[in-house]
Structure 1
Amino acid sequence: MNVVSLLPSATEIVYALGVEPVAVSHECDFPPEAAEQPAVVRSRVDAGASSGEIDAQVLEAASDGGVYELDREALVAADPDVVVSQGVCDVCAVDSAVVTDAVRELGLDCEVVTTDPHSLGDIYDDIRAVARALDREERADQLITGLRERVERVQERAPIERPRVAVLDWTNPVMVAGHWVPELVAGAGGEYGLADPRDHSTPREWSEIREYDPEVLVVAPCGFGLDQTRENLGDLTELDGWNDLTAVKEGRVYAMDGHHYVNRPGPRVVDTMEYLAGLVHPDVYDAAPRDVARPLAEL
């Protein structure tokens, strides 16, 4: 069966189900062998630019055909039986409507599976949906059972004390992470007062962040690893009142690899909950690996 995955989280799901895709997106890099597959998606945005420049490019691209380009020739060459797309975010990956149109216009005989996760439950449902298309339902049941058990273990250890937590998935403009992130923070033993579960990630006024005054602040820009996050920290540290935040005063501001862990709704989202637990309650949970998260002062 030829499977084409058009976003990193779907690629991780496909591999976790024991199937190797024949083509992926330009951002698919886990497991490492995914990066060796042909890419059928290109970005029209310079991912190495500053956060402010990327935001401007995204806005311009969105008004002129979209952020991503689907390589139709490469898609035809992949001869897919199943294409896995998404509908959660136009900025995150090529939109499912674009994919469906391309499949119809190219006359491809394949199934398009659309993921649209906004919670842990949605992620499990997406795993099952992909598994049905790939005839890997038993494998999906085993995978989901293991993920649920790990989530329960984290939740069972969470202390009664719940510090105020904020997770930022962009820095210019400042955006508070939504979707599955509030649920992850709650499971990790934190209070997430700036967004409810399933809320979309949206730009927020800096005054809102200051008023909330997080005790733990996690900076995890979408698509950024730790090095790129470090390069853009001035977006936050130069804001009025930054040094007055409780998290800053107490040295509890952390950079986290948003590219791999916060913005990918796939099997590793449970890793993310475990790592967040280590940041929120370091006296209870193990610390996250240093290539995943570390204090800002150590970047």
Structure 2
Amino acid sequence: MPRIVSLIPSATEIVAALGHGDDLVGRSHECDHPPGVEALPALTAPKVPLEGSSREIDDQVRALLDEAMSVYDVDVERLNALRPDLILTQSQCEVCAVSLPTVEQAVADRIEGSPTVVALEPRSLADVRDDIRRVAGALGCPARGDRLVRRMRDRMQATSNAVAPADATDRPTVAALEWIDPLMGAGGWVPTLLEAAGGTPVFARRRGDLDALHKADPDRIVVMACGFGLSRTDAEMDVLRNDNRWAALRAVQAGHVYRADGNHFFNRPGPRLAASLDILAEILHPDRFHAAIDRSHRETAWRREPAPTPSATR
């Protein structure tokens, strides 16, 4: 059986969904699903302290990138000791996880046995499906990959059908924020998920401030900060809650702001994107979604922000 090292959480989840979870011998510091994977040795570590604020993390990450430095360290000695046959990483984002050049350098310098390195590059929902098939092919189980992709597609189509708007007026405009300070509009596969959930994405793939968000003035705002769970996002939201420009947004005034778990959902391009679509459908069209599918994620994966009090908007 292959000895697999996954250096990105989404790849770990793909491996497990393909029935090869027991073949994993190492993981990234962020891999925490499925349960039990935390027992594997962690082979990566961030170079910036994650306890800082959103702004502090962003500033430090950009400083590293400006110096052409990797954002993560790889424990090459431990990686070598694990004797992997297959190493899974990614190549589309220097910030998301250990990059392909970092892994390639580690393999070239120290890793014995010439393991196969597969770099995922999910820039769209179609790319995510292709990556699942690529991992399945590397594991010698292409049919399992096809079945997993088919299950994801069928589930997502059922959700999309359940919330399909009758006309364009029934599609709320939605800003999905993948970072809080500075504000960043989610890109990649998220706009596709928003459309499938019966919404119209705005402020997508944007980096800006509250003035820029105010120009879009969406009907709904979903905060899905990359790497942040619900509690961490709640703490980070104060930078927005304390700004009068935030309180003036239509979505905020109407109580249509939602915090979502951006760590386990949305920002992991793997099997749980199907559940991410369910979350968006539940947020945008709860009447239609629950009438067809009983898969509530409320309070466990998303929460609704209370509308500000009248005094807070003055």
RMSD: 1.4
Query: Where does residue 52 of structure 2 map in the other structure?
Result: 49
Q: 1:243 aligns with which of 247, 258, 264?
A: 247
Query: Where does residue 188 of structure 2 map in the other structure?
Result: 179
AA aligned opposite 2:15: V
Q: Distance in 2 between matches of 1:284 and 1:46?
A: 42
Q: Distance in 1 between matches of 2:49 and 2:137?
A: 36
* Larger Cα-atom Rg: 2
Query: Where does residue 14 of structure 1 map in the other structure?
Result: 15
Paired residues for 1:156-175 under 5 Å: 156-157=161-162, 158-160=164-166, 161-175=170-184
AA aligned opposite 1:6: L
- SS of 1:26's partner is coil
Query: Where does residue 312 of structure 2 map in the other structure?
Result: none
The Cα offsets for residues 209-251 of structure 1, whole Å up to 9 and x where unpaired, read as: 1111111100111110011111111221223421221111111
Query: Where does residue 70 of structure 1 map in the other structure?
Result: 74
Q: Distance in 2 between matches of 1:125 and 1:177?
A: 21
The Cα offsets for residues 52-95 of structure 1, whole Å up to 9 and x where unpaired, read as: 11112212333452210011001101111110010121111010
Q: 1:189 aligns with which of 187, 191, 198?
A: 198
Q: Distance in 2 between matches of 1:204 and 1:281?
A: 28
- SS of 1:192's partner is strand
Q: Which runs of 5+ in 2 are unaligned?
A: 291-295, 308-314
Q: 1:32 aligns with which of 32, 35, 42?
A: 35
1:162 offset after TM fit, Å? 0.3
Paired residues for 1:1-299 under 5 Å: 1-20=2-21, 21-64=24-67, 65-108=69-112, 109-157=114-162, 158-160=164-166, 161-195=170-204, 201-286=205-290, 287-297=296-306
- Count of residue pairs brought into register by the alignment: 293
Q: TM-score, normalised by structure 1?
A: 0.94
Q: Distance in 1 between matches of 2:298 and 2:31?
A: 21
Q: Distance in 2 between matches of 1:47 and 1:296?
A: 24
The Cα offsets for residues 76-117 of structure 1, whole Å up to 9 and x where unpaired, read as: 011111100101211110101111121112253111101010
Deviates more, 1:24-33 or 1:243-252: 243-252
AA aligned opposite 1:82: L
Q: Distance in 2 between matches of 1:166 and 1:202?
A: 10
Query: Where does residue 198 of structure 1 map in the other structure?
Result: none
- Is the 8 Å Cα contact of residues 183 and 210 (structure 2) preserved in structure 1? yes
AA aligned opposite 2:10: S
Q: TM-score, normalised by structure 2?
A: 0.90
- Is the 8 Å Cα contact of residues 279 and 288 (structure 1) preserved in structure 2? no
1:202 offset after TM fit, Å? 4.3
- SS of 1:297's partner is coil
The Cα offsets for residues 116-174 of structure 1, whole Å up to 9 and x where unpaired, read as: 10111100100000111111211111111110001111221222310000110111100
Identity in percent = 41
Q: Distance in 2 between matches of 1:192 and 1:125?
A: 24
Q: Which runs of 5+ in 1 are unaligned?
A: 196-200
